[in-house]
């Protein structure tokens, strides 16, 4: 049984994913979390913004545990880890038929221009994500061509995945994400010293 704070965060995350942060009110969260009143909400969170920041942090931690963890797996070849991570993004989206979208991309699109607090925190989330990919690319440097820029490549990988998730949500077709994931893995493999470092096998059309 989740504790009261977790109930609030779960309810808020679901509402924000469906309606956006701006359209989600404290009253909506109270109703979704089945609280008896606002006093319970404000016992755990000082404001709606503070709740939103916590939801963002929690989403990233879950993403880190489920998806990014494979990037740090020392027993698997670095570039193969990257392929597995891309596959995990596809699998996560497949659970909702491609309709879930990215919590980070969704919030960035909604709030980056209108809410400085969220803009700064979302930027930090993307940087934490990019830093883990950069670390993996640095580990894989003996397999990569000498002119590979790990900073630029890590940003490109994130941009490709976030864009693919967005396009898949709009089109409501997982084949979109699967195809882009395949092309992204092939693009990364092209940066190998012999361009055949990481074999890519397409599993679906």
Q: Is the pLDDT of residue 198 over 70?
A: no
pLDDT of 204 reads: 53
Q: Is the pLDDT of residue 47 over 90?
A: yes
pLDDT digits (tens, 9 = 90+) for 8-45: 999 998 898 888 888 999 999 999 999 988 998 999 99
Distance CA 192, CA 189 (A): 5
Q: Is the pLDDT of residue 61 over 80?
A: yes
pLDDT of 1 reads: 46
Per residue in 84-117, is it b (16+ CB within 10 Å) or e — as a string? ebbbbbbeebeeeebebbbbbbbbbebbeeebee
Instruction: Kindly report the number of other CB atoms within 10 A of residue 122's CB atom.
Output: 23
Q: Is the pLDDT of residue 105 over 80?
A: no
The structural domains of the chain, ordered by start, are 1-57 (1.10.10.60), 67-205 (1.10.357.10)
Percentage of the chain exceeding pLDDT 90: 49
pLDDT of 2 reads: 59
Q: Is the pLDDT of residue 101 over 80?
A: no
Report if pTM > 0.85. Answer: no
User: Please, what is the average pLDDT of the chain?
Assistant: 87
Distance CA 172, CA 134 (A): 31
Q: Is the pLDDT of residue 178 over 90?
A: yes
Q: Is the pLDDT of residue 147 over 50?
A: yes
Q: Is the pLDDT of residue 205 over 60?
A: no
Q: Which of 34-43, 112-121, 177-186 has the highest mean pLDDT?
A: 177-186
Q: Evaluate whether 68 touches 129 at the Cβ level (below 8 Å).
A: yes
Which helix (H) or strand (E) segment holds residue 12: the answer is helix 4-19
Q: What is the DSSP letter of 164?
A: H
Residue 107: pLDDT band with limits 50, 70, 90: confident
Q: Is the pLDDT of residue 188 over 90?
A: yes
């Amino acid at each position: 049984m989740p504790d009261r704070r977790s109930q609030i965060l779960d309810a808020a995350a679901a509402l924000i994913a469906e309606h956006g942060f701006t359209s989600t009110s404290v009253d909506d969260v109270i109703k979704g979390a089945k609280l008896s009143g606002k006093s319970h909400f404000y016992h755990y969170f000082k404001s709606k913004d503070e709740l939103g920041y916590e939801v963002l942090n929690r989403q990233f931690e879950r993403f880190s545990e489920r998806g990014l963890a494979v990037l740090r797996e020392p027993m698997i070849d670095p570039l193969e880890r990257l392929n597995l991570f891309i596959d995990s993004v596809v699998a996560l989206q497949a659970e909702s038929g491609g309709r879930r979208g990215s919590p980070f991309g969704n919030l960035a699109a909604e709030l980056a221009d209108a809410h400085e607090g969220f803009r700064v925190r979302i930027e930090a989330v993307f940087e934490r994500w990019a830093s883990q990919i950069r670390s993996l690319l640095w580990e894989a440097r003996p397999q990569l061509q000498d002119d590979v820029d790990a900073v630029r490549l890590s940003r490109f990988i994130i941009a490709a995945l976030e864009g693919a998730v967005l396009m898949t949500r709009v089109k409501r077709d997982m084949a979109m994400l699967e195809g882009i994931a395949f092309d992204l893995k092939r693009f990364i493999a092209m940066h190998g010293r012999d361009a055949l470092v990481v074999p890519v096998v397409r599993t679906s059309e």
